[in-house]
């Protein structure tokens, strides 16, 4: 039986790879023998990730990149192509959250989250797809959120709004790029402890009350 987890020879880019789910996605891809280009703004954390992956026998290059900046995305994607010759997999994962009552939310903060969590997804998908279309192969996975499907009483409007856009962004690209053997899918994780999502005692108590498994993700 074919091993569908075997990614030998595949080249993957993971954005938001310096912490949280992106860090774990990168290690999981490397453990299944993909070559991983880890994208994020914090170079020192990417270097630590690359060291971990290389020590375990995998291949990883750290690429410092702000996905909201078009020029950086273009040059960073080209760096991966120059290094490994192609891009097979893109995991769009970089994101931000803004805890702020909507009536107090500055336009600058709204725009910053949109630039990273939505425009960044577009720029990365556009640039990677140029190579994928040439090669007639690609796999794109967009990290959404359960808050892209439901609301929460917490004041995180712009996070909810950008994650709500991910499903239809994904459907649109899936339709457009299917003829080139590129699949585009999204996942909608629940709450995972990370640098971006900290849990107070009150938050954990609330989670236990409304989540059947009674804990955040691991």
| CA–CA distance, 83 with 202 (Å, rounded to integer) | 47
Helix axes 157-177, 107-114, angle to 10 degrees: 30
C-alpha count within 13 angstroms, C-beta hemisphere, residue 166: 32
- Starting at the edge strand found earlier in the chain, the sheet holding 35-40 runs 59-64, 35-40, 11-15, 89-92, 138-143, 182-187
Beta bridge partners of 76: none
**Is residue 180 annotated as a catalytic residue, yes or no?**
no
| CA–CA distance, 107 with 157 (Å, rounded to integer) | 12
Q: Which two tokens stand for residue 161?
A: 């709004």
Phi, psi of 12 (to 5 degrees): -120, 140
Q: Which of 23, 25, 121, 159 is catalytic?
A: 159
Other Cβ atoms closer than 10 A to 165: 17
Reference 187, options 156, 218, 146; nearest CA is 146
Angle at 173 between CA 168 and CA 175, to 5 degrees: 95
Reference 203, options 193, 213, 212; nearest CA is 193
Catalytic sites, residue numbers? 159
């Amino acid at each position: 039986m074919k091993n569908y987890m075997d990614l030998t020879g595949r080249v993957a880019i993971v954005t938001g790879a310096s912490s949280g789910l992106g860090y774990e996605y990168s290690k999981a891809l490397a453990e299944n023998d993909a070559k991983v280009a880890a994208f994020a703004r914090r170079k020192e954390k990417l270097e630590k990730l690359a060291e971990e992956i290389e020590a375990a026998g995998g291949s990883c290059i750290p690429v410092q990149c702000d996905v909201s900046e078009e020029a950086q995305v273009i040059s960073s994607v080209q760096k991966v192509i120059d290094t490994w010759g192609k891009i097979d997999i893109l995991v769009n994962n970089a994101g931000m959250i803004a805890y702020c009552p909507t009536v107090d939310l500055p336009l600058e903060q709204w725009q910053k989250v949109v630039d990273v969590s939505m425009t960044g997804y577009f720029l990365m998908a556009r640039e990677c797809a140029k190579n994928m279309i040439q090669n007639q192969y690609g796999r794109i996975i967009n990290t959404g959120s359960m808050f892209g499907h439901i609301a929460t009483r917490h004041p995180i409007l712009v996070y909810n709004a950008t994650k709500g856009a991910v499903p239809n962004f994904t459907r649109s690209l899936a339709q457009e790029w299917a003829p080139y053997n590129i699949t585009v899918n999204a996942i909608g994780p629940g709450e995972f402890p990370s640098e971006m999502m900290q849990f107070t005692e009150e938050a954990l108590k609330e989670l236990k009350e409304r989540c059947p498994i009674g804990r955040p993700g691991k």
